[in-house]
Structure 1
Amino acid sequence: MVNNYWILNAKKLQNVTVLSVAGGFRDFQVRSGLTFLPASELYTSALSVVSTSVPRTWASTDHLSIVWCKELILATARALFDLIDGKTKQITNDPKKRMSVLSHHFVRHPAKQYESSYETITSVPVSSTWVFVETRNWKHSVTGACSETYFAFPLLDKRNAHSHFHCRSTHLYTHSWIFGCEEDSAKW
């Protein structure tokens, strides 16, 4: 009923921005699939995430503890501060900026302050070291200073196409990033 309401009233609700956070595999009261808001061409101001996918939040939470998970509270507090318009001292009325701020804190860049002009497209220097990892399970450890090495994980093979990629990292430096891209195979 909730999803149908959002779909049927998309035009009326276009100025309403909603963030839905699911608890993950430990949430036995409300499974994650029920927390995802419907996507629509008319209604683009909804963001649905699972607690374990929020940057710098690694814990799956149950339905009650999701409100006191410190990592989620910090992401929410940072987002709320960045949503304030400097002129009016109120939350911005611009729905695109609201979505941009929420995406920044709950999807993309946890260790960098929000910048409205931040470009998400990056280029890799030609002289960079590339390592192609074609094994199913892979582990990489760095001791001491971090080198600028790029790892590529091709998701297509001759047998099947993969729809998901899971990367678990610990003690990742704040200047280290994980990027995803779709590259034409003819360019490799």
Structure 2
Amino acid sequence: MTTWVALVHHPVVDRAGEVITTAVTNLDVHDIARSARTYGIAGYFVVTPIEAQRTLVERILSHWKDGPGARRVPERSEALGRVQVVDSIEEAVARVVAAEGRAPLTIVTSARRGPRTSGYREVAHELGDRPGLLLFGTGHGLAPSVMEAADRVLAPIEPGSDYNHLSVRAAVAITLDRLFGGFD
């Protein structure tokens, strides 16, 4: 089956746990698209309800898919060709359903371990049987409503140190490698 990735900018939380909307960054769009292409991810959704942010991402994508960037760096054009900009998680799920013909297993990520945590091997096995949508939060993580609605909560990346504040780009790359990379 196929797996999709969503980088969620709303609903996410800030340091105080308040639900907010974060800004899209150019680096996240590029780097996550490259990781998604490397690991064979079917598509990558940038989720933001802010129209100006969606327009900005579409302009970036146009430059790299159809403009001068596509001619200069065709590999990046190929990776960014998998990016779709949507205004909500629900729209991302609907697009996966339209492409796959069935609802995806929704899998959320968090830097904190919780009671519903599933391991990487378990989730990788499940993704062999049905489409999946991996949701990554910006800011200080996905809102509680998103966490509670998900089918699975993936185990956090635990670096073995007292510092655990990876960029979302790094977290996506590590997660994809743990799910789909070699286990040697």
TM-score by length of 2: 0.24
Judging by fraction of residues, say which structure has more strand. 2
Structure of greater Rg:
1
TM-score (norm 1): 0.24
Ranked by relative contact order (alpha carbons within 8 Å, sequence separation 6 or more), the top structure is: 2
Q: Which has the higher helix share?
A: 2
